[in-house]
A and B are shown apart, each in its own frame.
Chain A
Amino acid sequence: MTAFVTLAGVYNTPVLSSVLGGERRRDQDLMTTSRALDQFLSSVEKRAFKIAQLGLRNDDDALDAVQDAMMKLVQSYAARPVEEWRPLFYRILANRIRDMQRRRTVRGRIMAWLPVRDSEDDEEFDAIAQAPSPDAGPAKRLELDEAIGVLETAVAELPPRQQQAFLLRNFEGLDVSETASAMGCSEGSVKTHYFRALESLRSRLGEVF
């Protein structure tokens, strides 16, 4: 009984109760942040994947890019205000896509000098082979109808900056300032890239759309 009273006394000390209270608060904050991040990531993941897929024209690379962006956002920016997450996430994703495109270009140049190409992974990018095809598999067959195929092919062939501006502005719905932040450029550049992308797509798809 004495021991209990003594222990109770220790637990009731202001220092210990404030430490325990602080830990509880931290746990609650962590849970709130985790829930908010889960909600945010699940709201953007499909569109993020489509953006990465159109930029990289490869599903596995696109998934890797999205996963890397998710990891980096949680690791480095979870404490930032919620409204900053979207431009930050797309900035990370855009950087990741650009890195992968560059690596692929370098690899393509190196492989062009070699006489034999024996690995599927090391093949130079082939736009026709990678374009959405109804024969790619049952899931793909269902996934793609004519409009999607035509639009995605046209978007995929846009220059990278125009493609980014178009997808972030039109598809993801970021405003000019958020798009500029995500692309790491000025708002004026975003407007120019977006306008050119629209013109290019309109001239290609005008009859279809």
Chain B
Amino acid sequence: MTDPTDFEKRTREVLDESAGRLDGHTRSRLTQARHAALAQLERPARHWWRAFVPAGAAAAVAVLAVVMWSSPADRPLASPVDDIDLLADAPDFVNDGEDLEFYEWAAGEVET
């Protein structure tokens, strides 16, 4: 690089002087900006998936709640009366005399 000319030196001096005369408010804001930037180094690195952790946890709790709510263990056992009603309501249970005869025969066999 060639040596700077007098004009270049003079303009640089003037600009340096101008930068040196920044008012306190501006200097303070620059310091704050620097500290804010450096504070990023102290923060642990954030992984993108961490943003989804709360939503994932909430979804898991909701699924668990639904599963537990609809679990068969919580439901009352059906009574034998319900079963009889169901059988009685079935349209093809007593549909012809042939089946009825079979059931009478089967009941007789059990009793003997």
Q: Provide the residues of chain A in CB contact with B79, threshold 8 Å.
A: none
B11 contacts A209, CB within 8 Å?
Answer: yes
Decide: B26 and A74 in contact? CB cutoff 8 A: no
In the bound assembly, the distance between CA atoms of A202 and B8 in angstroms comes to 9
Residues in A whose Cβ lies below 8 Å from that of B34:
38, 41-42, 45, 70
A41 & B37 in contact (Cβ 8 Å cutoff): yes
Q: Is A131 an interface residue (CB 8 A)?
A: no
Which stretch, B14-22, B60-68, B81-89, B91-99, touches the partner chain A? B14-22
The reply to whether A143 and B18 form a contact with Cβ atoms under 8 Å apart is yes
Residue contact A63 to B41, C-beta cutoff 8 Å:
no
Q: Verify A49–B22 contact, CB threshold 8 A.
A: yes
B40 touches A71 (CB 8 A): yes
Q: How far is the CB of B85 from chain A (nearest CB, A)?
A: 67
CA distance A53 to B10 in the complex (A): 20
Instruction: Name the A residues within 8 Å of B8 (CB-CB).
Output: 170, 198
Chain A residues contacting B36 (CB-CB under 8 Å) are: 67, 70-71
In this assembly, does B57 line the interface, its C-beta being within 8 Å of a C-beta of chain A?
A: no
Residue interface mask B1-32, A partner, CB < 8 A = 1: 10010011011101111111111111101110
User: Interface digits, A14-50 against B, CB 8 Å rule (1 contact, 0 not)?
Assistant: 0000000000000000100110011001100111011
Cα of A96 to Cα of B42 in the assembled complex, Å: 25
Q: Are B37 and A67 in contact (CB under 8 A)?
A: yes
Per a CB cutoff under 8 Å, which of A37, A45, A206 touches B38? A37
Determine whether the beta carbon of A63 is less than 8 Å from that of B26: yes
| Contact, CB under 8 Å: A70 / B33 | yes
Task: Decide if B18 touches A30 in the complex (CB within 8 Å).
Answer: no
Q: Is A100 an interface residue (CB 8 A)?
A: no
CB distance from A24 to the nearest CB of B (A): 16
* A175 and B1 form a contact (CB under 8 A): yes
Which residues of A166-190 have CB atoms within 8 Å of chain B's CB atoms? 167, 170-171, 175-176
Which A residues are within 8 Å of any B CB, using their own CB? Answer: 30, 33-34, 37-38, 41-42, 45-47, 49-50, 59, 63, 66-67, 70-71, 73-75, 78, 139-140, 142-144, 147-148, 151-152, 155, 167, 170-171, 175-176, 198, 201-202, 205-206, 209
A-B contact pairs, 26 of them (CB 8 A): A30-B42, A37-B37, A41-B34, A42-B31, A45-B31, A47-B15, A47-B19, A49-B19, A49-B22, A50-B18, A63-B26, A63-B30, A66-B33, A70-B33, A140-B23, A142-B23, A143-B18, A143-B22, A144-B21, A151-B15, A167-B15, A170-B4, A171-B15, A171-B16, A175-B1, A209-B14
